[in-house]
Amino acid sequence: MKRVLPPALVALVLLGLWQWWVTAFEIPVFLVPSPARIAQTLVADWALLSAALLVTLKVTFLSLVCAVVLGVAVAFAFVQSRWIETAFFPYAVLLQVTPIVAIAPLIIIWVQSPTLSLVICATIVAIFPIIANTTLGLRSVNRGLVSLFRMNGASRWQMLIRLRVPSALPYFFGGLRVASGLSLIGAVVAEFVAGTGGTGTGLAYQILQAGYQLNIPRMFAALALIAATGVLLFVLMGWLSHRALGGWHESARPADGAL
């Protein structure tokens, strides 16, 4: 409750100020709609917007799953040998630093299925923190424990499953939190690029359409849905991480001051 109340209060105050400002200064609705108007639009256009939300959610989750599966696989490959890591890490960085808007049109041309092309774009955006964090985690193993495992004749497999993987979990979940936000961003950005081709009906497409029609309240409503999705994803990942690390890791501890 303590963690929900303060931000909720802030939201209430800000929305109140916004509502007052729009009414008091008679701001036209096609410039800045009032929160009440946005809420009305959300309800009125719910059929349209919820269908779009589902499409965006689908792309976000599919890309997050792809990023996790591929990212973890790549991280495992990296820790198998320094040579593999040295040879391939620059290309992982390349994925990270190339702006997705620049490659998205190409991918959309190459890949027939619109959903698949969006998922590929969003995966490219989301995968790097998973690769980087998981690799770091798999390498951050207590050296004493490595000696202990060796002295007791542990196999490579036992070392991986019983030592490296649990050691990597806190790092992995840190990466997952970042990646979940990035997969949403990737899904929206890719749809902005693809949407002009008339392929998608996700939230980004709705924002574009509403923009062409100067339907600003709907634009804001779609925006609010994207923001809410992002927050929910973040909370969900935090909860997952807490469930997985609860009990043993510092980050999962109920601290007195922080958080």
Partner 1 sequence: MLTTAPPAVEILGAEKTYPSGTRALLPVNLAVQRGEVVTLLGPSGCGKSTLLNLVAGLLTPSAGEVKVWGNDRGTSAAPAASDVSFVFQEATLMPWARVEANVRLPLDLQGIARAEADVRVNDALRLVGLEKFAHAYPRELSGGMQMRASIARSLVTEPTLLLMDEPFGALDEITRNRLDDELLRLRRQRDLTVIFVTHSIHEAVYLSDRVVVMTARPGRVVDELAIEPSLPRDEAFRVSTEFAAYAKRLQDALLAASSNADEALT
**Nearest distance, CB of residue 151 and partner 1, angstroms:** 4
Cβ neighbors of 60 (< 8 A, separation 6 or more) are 122, 183, 184, 187, 229, 233
Asked if 251 interacts with partner 1 (CB under 8 A), we say: no
Q: Tell me how far, at minimum, the Cβ of 98 lies from partner 1, in Å.
A: 36
- Longest Cα–Cα distance in the chain: 77
| Residue 240 neighbours by CB under 8 Å, 6+ apart | 173, 176
* Nearest residue (CB) to partner 1, 24 versus 151: 151
User: Which residue is listed with tokens 């690769």?
Assistant: 131
Between 197 and 246, CB nearer to partner 1: 246
Rounded Cα distance, 33 and 218, in Å: 9
- Per residue in 173-190, is it b (16+ CB within 10 Å) or e — as a string? bbbbbbbbbbbbbbbbbb
Site mask for partner 1 (CB under 8 A), range 153-182, x = bound: xx---x---xx--x--x-------------
Residue (169 or 223) nearer to partner 1, CB? 169
Q: Would you give the binding string for partner 1 spanning residues 219-248, x where CB under 8 A is met?
A: --------------------------x-xx
As to burial, measured by CB atoms within 10 angstroms (0-12 exposed, 13-18 middle, 19+ buried), residue 134 is: buried
The residue (of 90 and 144) whose beta carbon lies closer to partner 1 is 144
In angstroms, the CA 73 to CA 135 distance is 10
Residue nearer to partner 1 on the CB measure, 115 or 167: 167
Q: Per CB under 8 A, which region of 117-125, 137-145, 178-186, 227-235 contacts partner 1? A: 137-145
Given a contact cutoff of 8 angstroms between Cβ atoms, the answer to whether 57 and 122 are in contact is no
C-alpha span between 143 and 137 (Å, rounded): 13
Q: Cβ 244 to partner 1, closest distance in Å?
A: 10
Choose, by CB under 8 A, the member of 147, 196, 213, 251 that binds partner 1. Answer: 147
Site for partner 1, residues 30 to 49, rule: CB under 8 A: none
Residues that bind partner 1 (CB under 8 A): 142, 144-145, 147-154, 158, 162-163, 166, 169, 245, 247-250
